[in-house]
């Protein structure tokens, strides 16, 4: 934890860590040379059974073989889409592309034809690497539809067909000199406010961000990381996969999250760490309530993507016996910006996303004139560092809007900063509710709602209103219809009257992005269409 006393909401970049000029492939070679016999990767199937295993030396051998084969079919700098669940071939493609100088484009395995076609076309991809089916999604059929009429796509490859995956092409096999500043991936934003944009991330962006995150979370060679975050998202393939590589630890690559399976894996495999969104942790605690297991191996769990209820932090500490650290980041920053240290207080973990990571400068700026805000006042969270994306793919207007002339990435998230540099996220700029000319921040209201014992999860949005412009609506998940008088009283005890929701809706689930973030624009669309939730009186 950095000992600092700020006068304005501007946290300077600390110099207590080194930024390495190294590529993903270079890092893999370095780790394999130092930790070749350490176990690197363990395949975990959907039922929780383990399959294939790789040491770091074996992982390098497999990645170099695949990279050589890819180099006969693709030129450095070309883009290829990987469309698959969390399988080892995804990881091998990540390292092989890094070695071959190819740009890996990620795609959500639940995509349908229109969504996949968009990513293929917008990225300028020339190859599609996929599986034929996953959890009932007929991916082979979808790929046919999505690639129809796309003149750029030269091949569609089944990742699980080893012969085709490793086939040769017309080019001479040659691995180029890949530079740290070269593009490594195009990651499509989660799409919480609309259709995604492709953030182009460099090798230097990704490897350094993963390492500095792991250092603060105390992940090292001793760790066992359960990686069930989807690999198409930076939490899976960057923070998770590259974090494990930086730490030279063992990664359990889990095809999909299942709380019962995860609880068993913790006990059987000695899991020490993971990244999980709050909903996953609630599910894990419910599973352990039904069938207790030994959780003593757990050391640190990091979380983000939603407000962290105080009860969740307490229950994780009491039942799992480990630290729960809240974080803040976004794809455009490779992705992590802030993380609470292990020594953070309960209040800091619940109310903030922690201090900025080393070498990351963060400021809270006025959405009107871009000035730095006073301590404790709401503005846009901005970051400037080695981890800021190269830009949005083929979208200079959006890039210029996101990264200003001084190099500040405008995250689109609203927040405050205290004198110690702890950042509190209060909502999205686009989510901000303007009721009667007064600004209200959904995250502030959500943080109060989730402290009520009957509320499992909450999402607050603004609904159009003729009189007020917008009114505050709370969408809640609960096991049973809540006591509305008690819920309103709970809000009034912690919020002023104008911040208390005037519309209450109980829902069975929330529309989510592939990384588990609530899509508020989808909530608004579904509710206004008249087919979402139960109005509460």
Q: Which of 443, 407, 401, 438 is nearest to 423 (CA)?
A: 443
Token reading at 308? 């962290």
pLDDT value of residue 193 = 46
Phi, psi of 459 (to 5 degrees): -135, 130
CATH 3.30.300.30 for domain 431-536, yes or no, is yes
Whether the bond between 214 and the residue before it is cis, its omega within 30 degrees of 0, is no
- Per DSSP, what are the bridge partners of residue 469? 465
Angle between the N-to-C axes of helices 278-290 and 259-269, in degrees from 0 to 180, rounded to the nearest 10: 80
Q: Give SS3 for 154.
A: coil
- Residue showing tokens 């000029």: 21
Token reading at 313? 């932090």
Asked whether the predicted pLDDT for residue 476 surpasses 90, the reply is: yes
Strands 250-254 and 300-303: unpaired
- Per DSSP, what are the bridge partners of residue 56? none
Asked whether the predicted pLDDT for residue 535 surpasses 50, the reply is: yes
- Residue showing tokens 């030269």: 154
Its sign, for the CA torsion 508, 512, 515, 517, is negative
Strands 469-477 and 457-465: antiparallel
Question: Which pLDDT tens digit goes with each residue over 160-190?
Answer: 999 999 999 999 999 999 999 999 999 998 5
* DSSP notation for 141-191: HHHHHHHTT-SS--EEEETT-HHHHT---SSPP------TTSEEEEEE---
Question: Which pLDDT tens digit goes with each residue over 239-271?
Answer: 999 999 999 999 999 999 999 999 999 999 999
Token reading at 85? 């669940």
Q: How far is CA 130 from CA 2, 143, 405, in A?
A: 44, 9, 39
Asked if 129 and 83 touch (Cβ cutoff 8 Å), the reply is: yes
Per-domain boundaries in the chain: 431-536
Residue 495: pLDDT band (50, 70, 90) is confident
Asked whether the predicted pLDDT for residue 192 surpasses 70, the reply is: no
Asked if 301 and 324 touch (Cβ cutoff 8 Å), the reply is: yes
């Amino acid at each position: 934890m950095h000992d600092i006393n700020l006068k304005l909401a501007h946290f300077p970049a600390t110099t207590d860590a080194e930024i390495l000029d190294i590529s993903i492939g270079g890092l893999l070679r370095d780790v394999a040379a130092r930790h070749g016999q350490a176990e690197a990767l363990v395949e975990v199937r959907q039922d929780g059974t383990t399959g294939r295993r790789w040491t770091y030396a074996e992982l390098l051998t497999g990645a170099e073989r695949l990279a050589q084969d890819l180099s006969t079919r693709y030129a450095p700098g070309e883009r290829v889409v990987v469309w698959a669940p969390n399988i080892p071939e995804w990881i091998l493609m990540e390292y092989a592309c890094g070695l071959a100088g190819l740009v890996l484009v990620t795609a959500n395995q639940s995509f349908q034809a229109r969504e996949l076609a968009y990513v293929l076309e917008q990225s300028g991809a020339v190859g599609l690497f996929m599986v034929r089916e996953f959890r009932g999604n007929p991916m082979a059929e979808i790929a046919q539809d999505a690639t129809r009429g796309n003149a750029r796509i030269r091949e569609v490859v089944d990742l699980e067909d080893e012969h085709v995956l490793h086939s040769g092409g017309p080019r001479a096999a040659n691995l180029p000199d890949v530079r740290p500043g070269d593009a490594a991936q195009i990651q499509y934003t989660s799409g919480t406010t609309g259709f995604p944009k492709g953030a182009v991330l460099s090798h230097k962006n990704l490897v350094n961000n993963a390492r500095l995150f792991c250092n603060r979370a105390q992940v090292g060679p001793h760790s066992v990381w359960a990686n069930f975050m989807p690999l198409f998202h930076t939490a899976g393939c960057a923070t998770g996969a590259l974090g494990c590589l930086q730490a030279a630890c063992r990664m359990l690559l889990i095809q999909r999250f299942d709380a019962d399976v995860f609880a068993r894996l913790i006990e059987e495999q000695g899991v020490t760490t993971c990244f999980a969104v709050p909903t996953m942790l609630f599910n894990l605690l419910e599973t352990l309530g039904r069938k207790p297991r030994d959780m003593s191996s757990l050391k640190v769990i990091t979380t983000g993507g939603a407000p962290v209820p105080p009860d969740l932090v307490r229950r994780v500490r009491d039942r799992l016996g480990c630290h729960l650290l809240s974080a803040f980041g976004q794809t455009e920053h490779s992705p992590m910006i802030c993380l609470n240290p292990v020594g953070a207080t309960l209040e800091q973990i619940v109310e903030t996303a922690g201090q900025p990571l080393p070498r990351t400068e963060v400021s809270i700026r006025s959405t009107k004139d871009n000035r730095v805000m006073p301590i404790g006042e709401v503005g846009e969270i901005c970051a400037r560092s080695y981890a800021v994306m190269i830009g949005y793919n083929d979208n200079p207007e959006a890039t210029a809007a996101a990264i200003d002339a001084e190099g500040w990435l405008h995250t689109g998230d609203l927040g405050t900063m205290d004198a110690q540099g702890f950042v509190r996220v209060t909502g999205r700029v686009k989510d901000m509710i303007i009721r009667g000319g007064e600004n209200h921040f959904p995250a502030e209201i959500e943080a109060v709602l989730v402290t009520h014992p009957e509320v499992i999860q909450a999402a607050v949005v603004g609904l159009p209103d003729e009189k007020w412009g917008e009114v505050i609506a709370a969408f809640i998940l609960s096991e049973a219809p809540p006591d509305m008088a008690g819920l309103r009283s709970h809000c009034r005890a912690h919020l002023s009257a104008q911040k208390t929701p005037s519309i209450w809706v109980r829902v069975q689930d929330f529309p989510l992005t592939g990384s588990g973030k609530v899509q508020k624009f989808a909530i608004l669309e579904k509710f206004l269409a008249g087919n979402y939730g139960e109005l509460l009186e």
